Structure 1
Amino acid sequence: MAELVLRELLEAEGLGEEVVVDSAGTTAWEVGNPADPRTLEVLRRHGHVHPSHALHRARAFERRWFAELDLVLAADHGHYSTLRRLAPTPQDKAKVRMLRSFDAAGLAEAEQEMADPWYGDDADFERTYAEVVPAARGVVEHVRRELDR
């Protein structure tokens, strides 16, 4: 969900050609699976309709990617810890941030974790969407500053 929302926001702000947005999990459990239909339904209800959404396939994060990345976003503290353990250098470790740390509400560290909606119902996916959007907007502002725009 975050990948798709962030990509759309960056494109809307004219930054889509300059920034690559991708996603991957920290385990191989879901590798090859499409986006959860409940995620796609929430996105559709909120006006995010793009043919690429149906093409999304899960992948597992690879530590060698750190060399190519400027920012690595984690949804929860478990992902954050795993990604920091995978980071080969202190500089790569510093690239790992909690997605919700970019929320303009200035959430405390304990509030930055997103609950996984997988085992929940539609309301859980809506809550995730409500958490993703302000965080993604904050990422766009961060990228704009980094690109000096």
Structure 2
Amino acid sequence: MASGEVKSVLFVCLGNICRSPIAEAIFKKLVTDGNVQNKWMIDSGAVSDWNVGRSPDARALSCLRNHGIVTAHKARQVTQDDFVTFDYMLCMDESNLRDLQRKSKQVKNCTAKIELLGTYDPQNQRIIEDPYYGNDEDFETVYEQCLRCCKAFLEKPH
């Protein structure tokens, strides 16, 4: 990455209250800890409009707090502008990927690289399952996966 050049990443899941805000919060912490926060624009969004304006799931917030991370994120839906504003749109599962790819076809100059966050997992767990109907352990699994993937994504040349 050239000095002074800002890269941007949007983490995406179905409702933007579990997986993507966890990934967003982890990535923000990683870039802050690495003192490169001025080189990144970071956000998260949903393919659906179900939770717009809501805070992340209480279990997601609790999981993040257990790891010393706080977020004030409010859920939002992915917009057409996101496809030209963000360099990367990293989503959690094949359904999110299909939705984003379909939506990107309606955008004239889509410049975002759309891929699974799990593509970066050194343990090769490509899909980050939705923990919504699960338990605290499932949220912890999502946290661990997102942490591995975000670290690997941050370390790659951009």
What is the TM-score of this pair, normalised by structure 2? 0.80
C-alpha RMSD of matched pairs (Å): 1.8
Letter in structure 1 aligned against 2:46? G
Q: Does 1:70 align with 2:93?
A: no
Q: Does 1:16 align with 2:37?
A: yes
Higher helix share: 1
Aligned to 1:80: 97
Q: Structure 1 pair 94/57, CA: closer, same or farther in 2 (3 Å)? A: closer
2:136 pairs, out of 80, 104, 122, with 122
* Corresponding residue pairs, total: 136
SS at 1:119's partner residue? coil
Contact 1:87 1:93 in 2 (8 A): no
The code of the aligned residue for 1:16 comes to Q
Give the fraction of aligned pairs with identical amino acids, expressed as a percent: 28
What amino acid is the match of 2:24?
A: E
Distance in 2 between the 1:63 and 1:114 partners? 24
Per-residue CA deviation, residues 47-91 of structure 1 (Å, 9 max, x unaligned), is 22x3xx1x2110000122211111000011100111111114697
Q: Which amino acid aligns with 2:98?
A: S
Give the gaps of 5 or more residues in structure 1.
Answer: none
TM-superposed CA distance for 1:99, in Å, is 0.5
Unaligned runs of 5+ in 2: 1-21
Task: Kindly report structure 1 stretches of 4+ aligned residues shifted beyond 2 Å.
Answer: 88-94
